[in-house]
Chains A and B, each alone.
Chain A
Amino acid sequence: MTYAGVAVSDSDVMHATDEVFELENRSTQWSEVVSVFDLSFRKIEVLKSLLAMQSLSENWDSYGSQPPSTTAIDVGCTFVIRYLLDDDPMPRIIPVSGSGIQLAWKKQDKEITLDIFPDGRLEYVKSCGDEIIEVDEQFALDWGKIRSFLDWVR
């Protein structure tokens, strides 16, 4: 379960997600839960927000959207559990039309958004005020990149 410093490709996202939830699945238990004993309360609060997205009603945005997909939520949880440190700025969690989720960080004019699509793909946008500085439509979970953008909004 070592991951720190290891860049994983976009296609590895699902594999990584599976690993996070595998420990729970390697028992006879069926009900899904997330282990939080080793997590800080800050991270737990973000995970609660992510998981609560499943309770959104159908057509929650009045444009016919379903609640965020299980895959998007799983990837979001994986991101929080594995890639956020306790003293990192915690993201706002926003549901996105089309069953996705957005994680957003903002500090004054600086803003980072990480969109998680229903199939688990990630899109990263870095902006300052009205200016878009960087876009990565195929963002891979990369420890170095994540540290860099979190430092930018710290």
Chain B
Amino acid sequence: MSGHLQNLPEYASPPVIETVLGVQFNPLRDFQIPHFGLFWSRIREQYPSFEIQPPLGRIFEQFGQKNSRKDVFVRFEEGPPDFRCWFKDQQQTHLIQVQRDRFIVNWRKVTGDEVYPRYGQFRPRFQTEWDQFCEFLETEKIATPQVNQCEITYVNHLEGEKEFKPFGDAKRIYTLWSELPAEGFLPSPEAVRFNIRFLLPDQKGRMHVFSEPKLRSRDGKEVLQLTLTCRGTPLSSTREDILDWFDLGHEWIVRGFTQLTTNEMHQIWGRTR
């Protein structure tokens, strides 16, 4: 991993407010409702609170077919209702999300003052939590997860007052946005929202970029939320292959973020490399 990080762009204060590393696997049919509680008992000291959430649909990046991305909501005919369980740490900055076909680790800012754990720290955290989950499954004699998709997501909040004024000031932020001709008919846009997707090499996955104005719930601030998500299939379900895939996704997100945003923004975020 150290090699892949060496030449990547770096920022002293990037606008990252959340990072996500997750895997999707074939549904664990033997993972029943009591197992959520049993697993929680193992991690409860570190993650003392929980919340039940609706399940995430299954998402596959597909290639060479009409639909490039397929979102599937699966309802198992047998077994308990599907749901997703959140296990939250005391500070509400770290989260583990578990459902019968997902395992996801999140970090987020809560007050805005938290120091963002760099990938070099967050990756080992995922590794530890995933190992713990797999050990639990083994103890309970539940089949080893067959991972079919990996996902890495970085959520950035570009704050209005600091970095741009109205929701429509896209040209100051994004390199792919050009200004409308001054003598033209249209005024500056009132608001801008876009989705872009990029193919990763050798059909290893895709990078999805979403930009949309939002209000941040914790303080009501106007922000432009820039989300970069890489998703794709690892070579195998081994921990090493999953982490290798995350490294690729991370590289694409960091390089992609840098290429998509302007030098003016890089200066604000304190680009050091």
**Which residues on A are within 8 Å of B, measured CB to CB?**
22, 25-37, 44, 47-52, 54-55
Q: Which residues on the A side are within 8 Å of B213 (C-beta)?
A: 36-37
* A-B interface contact total, Cβ < 8 Å: 83
Query: Is the beta-carbon distance between B108 and A30 smaller than 8 angstroms?
Result: yes
Number of interface residues of B (CB under 8 A): 35
The residues of A that contact B193 with a CB separation of less than 8 Å are 37
B151 touches A28 (CB 8 A): yes
B54 contacts A26, CB within 8 Å?
yes
B18 contacts the other chain (Cβ, under 8 Å)? yes
Q: Does B82 contact A (CB under 8 A)?
A: no
Q: Which residue of A lies closest to B94 (CB)?
A: A30
- Residues of A near B20 (CB, < 8 A) are 28-30
- Given A26-B56, A48-B215, A51-B219; A33-B225 close (CB under 8 Å): yes
Q: Which residues of A contact B215 (CB under 8 A)?
A: 33-34, 36, 44, 47-48, 51
| 7 A-B contact pairs sorted by A residue (CB < 8 Å) | A30-B20, A31-B217, A33-B214, A34-B217, A48-B221, A49-B220, A51-B216
Is B258 an interface residue, CB under 8 A from the partner? no
B residues with a Cβ closer than 8 A to A are 17-18, 20, 22, 53-54, 56-57, 86, 95, 97, 104, 106, 108-109, 151, 153, 155, 167, 191, 193, 212-223, 225, 227
The smallest C-beta distance from B201 to any residue of chain A, in angstroms, reads 24
Contact pick for B219, options A22, A27, A30, A55, CB 8 Å: A55
Contact residue among B17, B57, B221 (Cβ-Cβ distance under 8 Å from A26): B57
CB distance from B64 to the nearest CB of A (A): 26
- Chain B residues with Cβ below 8 Å from A48 are 215, 220-222
Docked Cα-Cα span, A34 to B108, in Å, equals 16
Contact partners of B223 in chain A: CB under 8 A: 33
* Alpha-carbon separation in the docked complex, A90 to B115 (Å): 38
Write out the residue numbers on chain A whose beta carbons fall within 8 Å of the beta carbon of B18: 29-31
Within the complex, the shortest CB–CB distance from A49 to chain B, in Å, comes to 7
- Inter-subunit contact B218/A25 (CB<8 Å): no
Nearest-Cβ distance from residue B179 to partner chain A, whole angstroms: 21
Which residues in A have their C-beta under 8 angstroms from that of B57?
A: 26
Instruction: Answer whether A30 and B227 are a contact pair too, CB < 8 Å, given A35-B212, A52-B220.
Output: no
Chain A positions within 8 Å of B17 at CB level: 31
Alpha-carbon separation in the docked complex, A47 to B222 (Å): 10
Compute how far the CA of A54 lies from the CA of B57 in the bound complex, rounded to whole angstroms: 31
Contact indicator B220/A29 (Cβ below 8 Å):
no
A44 touches B216 (CB 8 A): no
- The CA of A147 and the CA of B97, in the complex, are separated in Å by 41
Q: Which residues of chain B are near A26, meaning CB under 8 Å?
A: 54, 56-57
Top 10 nearest A-B pairs (CB, nearest first) are A51-B220, A32-B217, A33-B214, A52-B220, A48-B220, A34-B215, A30-B106, A31-B18, A28-B20, A31-B108
Q: Is the CB of B54 within 8 A of A25?
A: yes
A116–B217 alpha-carbon span in the complex (Å): 18
Pick the contact of B217: A27, A28, A33, A49 (CB < 8 A): A33
Question: B73: shortest Cβ distance to chain A, in Å?
Answer: 10
Contact A25 B53 (CB under 8 A): yes
Cβ contact within 8 Å between A32 and B218: yes
Whether B191 pairs with A28 at a CB distance below 8 angstroms is no
- Chain A residues with CB under 8 Å of B220's CB are 47-52, 54-55
Q: Which residues of B contact A35 (CB under 8 A)?
A: 212, 214
Given contacts A32-B217, A48-B220, A52-B219, contact A27 B56 (CB under 8 A): yes
Residue numbers in B under 8 Å from A47 (CB-CB): 215, 220
Q: Whose C-beta in chain A lies nearest to the C-beta of B106?
A: A30
Residues in B whose Cβ lies below 8 Å from that of A44: 215, 222
